[in-house]
Structure 1
Amino acid sequence: MTDRRPLLFTLAGGVATLVYFGAAEFIAGAFSATTAPLLILGQAIIPLTPTAMIKAAISVFGTNDKLALIITLVIVGAAVGGVIGRIGLRRRTLSFVLLIGLGILPVFLLLSTGGALLDSIPALGGVALGCAAYMGLISLGDGRELRSEDSASTDRSADFDGRPGTDRRAFFGLAAGLSAVGIAAIAAGQSASILARNAAGAVTKLVLPRPAASAPEIPAGADLDIDGLAPIMTPNDDFYRIDTALIPPSVDASSWSLHIHGMVEDEVTITMAELLDLPLEEHRVSLTCVSNQVGGDLVGNATWLGYPVRDLLKRAKPSADADMVLSTSDDGFTASTPLEVLTDDRASLLAVGMNGEPLPRDHGFPARLVVPGLYGFVSATKWVTELEVTRFTDKEAYWTKRGWATHGPVLVASRVDVPRAGDHASPNKDGQIITAGMAWAQHVGIAEVQVRIDNGDWHTAELSKELTTDTWRQWRCPFNNLEPGTHTVTVRAVDADGNVQISERRPAIPGSATGLHDRQFVVD
């Protein structure tokens, strides 16, 4: 007979790990989502992850990158647990020691970052239940070999070397049941953390003052109102979120403050109450993530309410030798922004509002930076608490240390929204196939969009009314007499300075992906 115990012990270790994660997630619901081992491990792994791997994850998963990390941690954890379980076949005590060590690793990480001992209860509870699951499974699988299904014996009560009360079905039934419970508990814990996060965001909302300077009304023609085309203003719930926090920090607005220091004559500290008493301004600004792939959706447009950063820096009186502002988030993230960009006449804001509401927690509550014309990784710090005036030669930001660009100006870009890839398009009543999409070149503005079908001539598209040079624009381009069959639509944009969108394909590292977006569709 084939000895199946190695397989059984491997499965027992993997299942025990699932039980551990599930139990810990469930228990964390009674404490705080931040005490769940999956979150602790994930937050520890993010800073250690190679830049290329982070870029690849964002490219593939987009705003679901954090969910992908959690799933990966579960899979890898179960695989490691399986290896440990296999060790138990020969060295039972060592396997328990390793399982316990794997389980309490998040406790050490938590305590090393200032966590309270009480916060270790979810992990310790998960360890106890995981080890219990492992013990129960290996007690079933501890015979020298399993009898095969076609064994001549009909005594189902003695499948493990004649030991009564055991059989293969009992082992796999228990393993499957425990795995299902573990996975369900993980999913429930993740869902509960999302609900708790949303509830916390609602509870901590501020009452915003009326702006001293409101954004102009959106003019007629700013939105082309084409089915399938992204709206000119992005709702808060649809606005992309890319950052290094698995769960956004929960910052109390009443105790929040911003500290401006470094190469300044006068250090400045401003509280939320003081900030809200200032003459706040509304500005419409599109933000773009440097990780956005050609044709991607990591870009959005909102109306932001805040106070000009240049006026805050003016209070501090930066040194003439300074050329950079290092902004720091409540969770320790940093971004390096050119000082000249924060002190010129653009609408760089310390923002507290988004589309008429206080900032959602996901987008930086209670305060964040909004800087037109730069990618977010060098400007759009959420949950911001510090501005250090310094020099690029003296300080490096989070992503700069990982090989990304230091300045990050937004490049002219465009995408096709209509037709969708693979769509079957029929001519309208005028015999036209309508193509449409978005184009942006923040703080410079879009001057022209050109579109072609297959490898034909470029056609000038109709542009929507411009809100400001800091926002994206919609475009529309009809085509007549397209033959039935498959066609490719390609778009490129030209900014107000005459820069034509770069056609050469290159990856996002170190300073934005380039290339022209195209889509194939079928004319019926």
Structure 2
Amino acid sequence: MGAIAGLASAAAGLAIGELIAGIWTSLESPVVSVGNRVVDNVPRPLKTWAIETFGTNDKAVLLGMVALLLALGAALIGMLAVRRGLRFGLIGIGIFTAVGMLASLGRGTSGLLAPLPSLVGGLVAGAALALLMYRGNLDFAGEQAVAGSQTQPAQALPAQALPAQALPAQSMLLKAPNRRQFLGTAAGVTAGAVVIGGAARWLRNQGAAAAERLKIVLPRATQPLPDPPAAVELGVAGAAPFFTPTSEFYRIDTALTVPRVDLSTWTLEVMGEVSTPITLSYEQLLERPMIEADITIACVSNEVGGDLIGTARWLGCRLDDLLKEAGVSATADQIVGRSVDGFTAGFPTALLDGRDALVAIAMNGEPLPAKHGFPARLIVPGVYGYVSATKWLSQIELTTFEAFQGYWIPRGWSVDGPIKTQSRIDTPRNGSRVTAGSTVPIAGVAWAPIRGISKVEVRIDNGEWQEATLGEEYQATTWRQWKLDWKPSSGEHKIAVRATDGEGATQTDQLAPVAPDGATGWHTITVYAE
């Protein structure tokens, strides 16, 4: 019964914390606060392992682990309260509450209000535990357990031998736990927690950002891009499409839950080493001249052959035009994007060399989805996202690399993050079986944003490199599809791919991990022909 009391009490407290965070969009729930601090302080090797093992599900796994640890702690607190008394359970809840409150004071906090969900949740959990112990007579059982031998002699005496005035107190001390009453109350508390937790989730998923996003009418680009030539697609089943569907676009960031932004209060500030600081509302941002740009972006955590990469048609205002209006100081050498949740990423001002760096407001013809950075994010062709692609953008600061380091740099990642030349085999899949003697298309994509792809070669077993057919060259900022037709003989075969960029440099065969500046090596698979 103690474990049930602890779990039900914790559920009530966490549900209230979630509800408060759901109502006040700038606050974090207790679980998210603790999880975010874990993300901020986890060692780089463990972070890399989590992404490699769980991919885009790493956040769900982390939240599940935090919830599991909280559940174990709650069960232990409940058992302690039953065995030793209510005050010991309240002390345990107080410790967990303090941890949640301290965790809420991390990056991107809401000042003095940040600990509110954890504080109120802890008070509710304590009240729920007291109620459950009262309804189940559990605290009396705890006192009896503590009293132990002191109660036994009195229990052994016949009732008529006791003073009349001692009978009520003795009968209360020895009153058995009321299991039916306790279980009914526990069920009610748990059901209430489920309802409140569901309401909190609804508020988070159907909040201001989701509602306002539906009302947005996107501005037209001053010079809309035509559709890419049909020949950019080679028509091989199983190969990645030229444009990655928004629903399938990868998401890697440090936010355990998607930040919700209220457009009525959101602004974008251009600040720091500028002569004229700029503050834009969302409406003012949409009124700026817009361009479209087809750009492939990639995560530095993308393994050789991985899928943490995608291509989209982005809509936004030019970053160089915006900064020109602000007047960048000659001493500034770094542009830092800052998210509403406090995340930062910085890249050199030298990258504004004419490339289509954007303050993006839309992807693939729709306003940015919340999980991809609504209402605005930075897109900078040619560099990994950890130094450039700030989502949920709230500030652009001009500074120096000497004065400031972005989020990932002190955690051991490289200051510069140019995307490396890479290629990937999409079909056939590793370990798959193909028909011997029939034509099997080997196909995939290759990328070297800004430099472009000039050649892709495929090697089967230890044979010669064979040049693959490329999709039509479109823009240097996007990946290119490739394919090679092959008639396999029976048996096991190894297939490797390598790409050469537009500057004539062929990707290296040297295997390197994703840390500190991106993985290298040739993607190689094994297939079986029969």
Query: Does the CA contact (< 8 Å) of 1:431 and 1:481 recur in 2?
Result: yes
CA deviation after TM superposition for structure 1 residue 137, in Å = 11
| 1:371–1:379 CA contact under 8 A, matched in 2 | yes
Q: 455-464 vs 125-134, which deviates more?
A: 125-134
**Alpha-carbon distance in 1 for matches of 2:481, 2:525:** 17
> What is the DSSP-based 3-state SS (H/G/I as helix, E as strand, rest coil) of the residue aligned with 1:303?
strand
Matches within 5 A, 1:80-159: 80-84=73-77, 87=80, 91-92=84-85, 93-103=87-97, 105-107=99-101, 109-110=103-104, 113-114=110-111, 115=113, 119=117, 120-129=119-128
Deviation at 1:297, TM superposition (A): 1.1
Given that residues 21 and 37 in structure 1 are in contact (C-alpha distance below 8 angstroms), is that contact kept between their aligned partners in structure 2? no
Q: Identify the residue that residue 275 of structure 1 maps to in structure 2.
A: 285
The correspondence for 1:393, drawn from 393, 402, 419, is: 402
Which AA in structure 2 matches 1:19? A
Kept in 1, the 8 Å contact 2:488–2:529? The answer is: no
1:70 aligns with 2:63: yes
TM normalised by structure 1 equals 0.82
Query: CA shift at 1:141, angstroms?
Result: 9.3
Answering whether residue 501 of structure 2 is matched by residue 495 of structure 1, we say: yes
Aligned pairs, number: 492
Paired letter, 2:91: V
| Max Rg structure | 2
Matched, 1:19 2:11: yes
Q: 8 Å contact 1:204–1:253 — kept in the other structure?
A: no
TM-score, scaled relative to structure 2 = 0.82
Distance 1:118 1:356, change over 3 A: same
Query: C-alpha displacement at 1:215, in angstroms?
Result: 1.9
In the other structure, the counterpart of 1:303 is: 313
Structure 2 counterpart of 1:44, one-letter code? R
Note if contact 1:27-1:122 (Cα within 8 Å) is conserved in structure 2. Answer: no
Distance apart, 1:411 and its partner CA: 0.3
| Selected match of 1:515 from 497, 512, 521 | 521
Out of 55, 72, 82, the residue aligned to residue 79 of structure 1 is 72
Asked if 2 retains the 8 angstrom alpha-carbon contact of 1:254 and 1:273, the reply is no
Residues 375, 410 of structure 1: 8 Å contact kept? yes
Contact 1:349 1:370 in 2 (8 A): yes
Question: Structure 1 residues 386 and 59 mapped into 2: Cα distance closer, same or farther (>3 Å)?
Answer: same
Q: Which aligned pairs between 1:469-488 and structure 2 lie closer than 5 A? A: 469-483=476-490, 485-488=491-494
1:158: which partner in 2?
none
Aligned to 2:445: 438
Residue equivalent to 2:427? 418
SS of 1:204's partner is helix
Describe the shift of the 1:419–1:85 C-alpha distance in structure 2 as closer, same or farther (beyond 3 A): same
Paired residue for 1:286, among 292, 296, 312? 296
**Structure 2 gaps, min length 5:** 146-173
1:371 deviation in Å? 0.3
The structure whose residues are more often helix, as a share, is 2
Check whether the contact 2:270–2:279 (CA below 8 A) recurs between aligned residues.
yes
Q: In 2, distance between residues paired with 1:507 and 1:404?
A: 12
For 1:402, which of 396, 411, 425 is the aligned residue? 411
Residue 24 of structure 1, CA deviation: 4.1
Aligned equivalent of 2:221 = 211
Residues 93 and 125 in structure 2, CA contact (< 8 A), matched pair in contact too: no
| Structure 1 residue 84 displacement after superposition | 4.2
- Residue 258 of structure 2 is aligned with which of 248, 267, 270? 248
CA contact (8 A) 2:209 2:261 kept: no
CA contact (8 A) 1:21 1:38 kept: no
Distance 1:275 1:196, change over 3 A: closer
User: CA–CA distance in 1 between the matches of 2:479 and 2:400?
Assistant: 31
Select 1:355's aligned residue among 355, 360, 364: 364
**AA at the equivalent of 2:95:** G
1:295-343 Cα distance to aligned partner (Å, 9 max, x none)? 111111000111111111212222223211122112111111110102x
Q: SS at 2:485's partner residue? A: strand
Q: Distance in 2 between matches of 1:15 and 1:59?
A: 33
Counterpart CA distance in 2 for 1:141 and 1:295 is 61
Bigger shift: residues 182-191 or 405-414: 182-191
Contact 2:59 2:256 in 1 (8 A): yes
Q: CA deviation at 1:218?
A: 1.1
How many angstroms apart in 2 are the aligned matches of 1:215 and 1:14? 59
1:195 shift after superposition: 3.4
Matched residue type, 2:465? W
1:224–1:83 distance in 2 versus 1, CA, 3 Å = same
CA contact (8 A) 2:22 2:203 kept: no
* Per-residue Cα deviation, 1:70-99 (whole angstroms, up to 9, x for no partner): 101012223334554565576443343113
Contact preservation (8 Å) 2:422, 2:498: yes
What is the RMSD computed on CA atoms of the aligned residues? Answer: 3.5
Deviates more, 1:326-335 or 1:13-22: 13-22
Which runs of 5 or more residues in structure 1 are unaligned?
1-7, 145-161
Change (3 A) 1:31 1:269: closer
Where does residue 38 of structure 1 map in the other structure? 31
CA contact (8 A) 1:57 1:65 kept: yes
> Which residue in the other structure is 2:168 paired with?
none
CA deviation map 1:443-492 (0-9, x unaligned): 11111112222333322111112221111111111212321x33332222
Taking the aligned partners of 2:456 and 2:328, their CA distance within structure 1 comes to 40
Which range is displaced more, 350-359 or 34-43?
A: 34-43
**Residue 236 to residue 377, structure 1, CA distance change in 2 (3 Å):** same
